[in-house]
Copies of this chain bind each other. A is one copy, B any other.
Amino acid sequence: MTLLDPALVTPRDARAAFREGVVTPTSGWSAGWTQANLLAVPRDRAYDFLLFAQRNPRACPVLDVTEPGEHAASIFDGDLRTDLPLYRVYEHGEQVAEVPDVRAYWRDDLVCFLIGCSFTFEAALLAAGVPVRHLEARTNVPMYRTNRECRPAGDLSGPLVVSMRPVPSGLVATAVRITSRYPAVHGAPVHVGDPAALGITDLGRPDYGDPVEVRAGELPVFWACGVTPQAAVTASRPPFAIGHAPGHMAITDARDDAYVVP
């Protein structure tokens, strides 16, 4: 692999790089192509999860669903078992592995859900002049479990997880306006300002990803996050699930533009 700007790497090449062992957060990769969260659950848990997603659409906008045992999807012409940079494997809610290849854990009854990711609207934020701190810092986006409970479905329940981006006060309205045009990738922020209102006590210690600086004149802005399903797995302890490692997304063959509301 050549030292291309990751933004210019095609989805196919990005997936090949991850398959070959590159492990990195994917924010900023393959600009213009939609990234997705992964949750794979056995077929007998698939209705509960799909209903959980329907009831929590801000956090869990479903972009695609595989047939049981399949490892490609209509928007992902690759191998969902190997072509993400990093995975987490859960048994009864406990993370039992974090690996770059989940073939050893694969089961023929697994259904994969691809869930929209807020990385998708970051190019639009940049284009509108809204800075994206974790892209500047080349780190993973900070994500936090909140005190807001999702609507349960079947045996699944858990807290809303949010991603956070610091936004200059004068650009908060722009950030809201831009991102609300992307309802399939979390849409408008769920909260602007005081983290304590979401039960977040320390922005410097995210539950997933890396902390970023919030500068004078900026407000922390919070978007619903596709890691929410994994927080539900942790909270609800279903027998088995596989997710991506937060920030280490599936890079799909769908264009960002496919998810914009004009």
Contacts and interface: CB of A to CB of B under 8 A. Distances in A.
A47 interface: yes
A12 to B, nearest CB: 23
Contact of A183 (B51, B55, B183): B183
A207 B181 CA distance: 35
Interface string A175-196: 0010011010000100000000
A127 interface: no
A217 interface: no
Contacts of A177: 262
Contact of A65 (B55, B180, B188): B55
A189 to B, nearest CB: 13
B51 A180 contact: no
A54 interface: yes
Identical subunits present: 2
B261 A180 contact: yes
Nearest to A46: B47
A62 interface: yes
A231 interface: no
Nearest to A261: B261
A50 interface: yes
Contact of A50 (B54, B180, B181, B262): B54
A244 to B, nearest CB: 19
Interface string A67-78: 000000000000
Interface string A47-63: 10011001100000010
A61 to B, nearest CB: 10
A205 to B, nearest CB: 33
Given A46-B47, A51-B65, A183-B261, 4 more contacts: A55-B65, A180-B261, A183-B183, A261-B261
17 contacts: A46-B47, A47-B47, A47-B50, A50-B50, A50-B51, A50-B54, A51-B65, A54-B62, A54-B65, A55-B65, A177-B262, A180-B261, A181-B261, A183-B183, A183-B261, A188-B262, A261-B261
